[in-house]
């Protein structure tokens, strides 16, 4: 199973890289060479990519991922403007907060941590699955939120998205 996932990832990237060899499409040589190299890469990395990676082959998950892109982009726009405001005015209250999260697997933690890091003003420092928490450096902790009970004040709706994207 790990072979199929790594093979398909690799083959899709090969197709993206070599598009345009026959008009807008691919000629036969590129397609066959891609099959061979993707098979080699898939065989070499079948243990690395993990047994459960096959759940990302589900098309429902791709649609969810596409739906997540504008949410993340809008969060980045808002947060960048907020950081620009903080650069000009200097109103900051930095600190590291422990954010308890309700996530189960590695992919969910990775998606949430990367989303938090991508939205400026917050920076994930560590993910601790055994205590179900993230440690986040926050540029401006609102008073009274030094010990948040959930990830809502830090990351907005991202935890819900990460839970659904990674399950």
- DSSP string of 79-144, one letter each residue: HHHHHHHHHHH---B-EEEEEE----SHHHHHHHHHHHHHSTTEEEEEEEGGGTEEEEEESBPPTT
**30 contacts another protein (rule: CB under 8 A):** yes
User: Per rule CB under 8 A, is residue 29 in the interface with another protein?
Assistant: yes
- Taking alpha carbons only, the member of 34, 1, 42 closest to residue 17 is 34
What's the closest the beta carbon of residue 2 comes to another protein, in angstroms?
10
Please report whether residue 27 would count as binding another protein according to CB under 8 A.
yes
Cβ nearer to another protein, comparing 21 with 150? 21
- If one asks whether residue 136 binds another protein (CB under 8 A), the answer comes out as no
- Binding of another protein at residue 99 (CB under 8 A)? no
The token duo for 126 is: 């560590």
- For residue 157, the SS3 value is coil
- 51 scored as a contact of another protein (CB under 8 A): no
Judged by CB, which is closer to another protein: 4, or 83? 4
Nearest to 158 by CA among 128, 122, 125: 122
Interacting residues toward another protein by CB under 8 A: 6, 9-11, 13-14, 17-18, 21, 27, 29-30, 33, 37-38, 40-42, 44-45, 47-50, 53, 106-107, 109-110, 113-114, 124, 126-127, 129
């Amino acid at each position: 199973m790990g072979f199929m996932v790594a093979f398909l990832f690799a083959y899709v990237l090969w197709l993206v890289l070599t598009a345009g060899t026959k008009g807008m499409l691919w000629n036969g040589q590129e397609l066959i060479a891609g099959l061979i190299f993707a098979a080699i890469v898939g065989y070499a990395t079948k243990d690395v990519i993990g047994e459960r990676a096959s759940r990302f082959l589900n098309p429902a998950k791709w649609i969810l991922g596409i739906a997540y892109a504008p949410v993340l982009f809008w969060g980045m726009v808002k947060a960048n403007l907020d950081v620009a405001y903080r650069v000009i005015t200097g109103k900051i209250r930095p600190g590291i907060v422990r954010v308890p999260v309700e996530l189960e697997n590695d992919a969910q933690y990775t998606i949430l941590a990367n989303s938090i890091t991508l939205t400026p003003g917050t920076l994930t420092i560590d993910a601790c699955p055994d205590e179900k928490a993230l440690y986040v450096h926050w540029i401006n902790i609102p008073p009274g939120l030094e010990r948040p009970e959930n990830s809502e004040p830090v990351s907005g709706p991202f935890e819900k998205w990460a839970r659904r994207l990674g399950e």
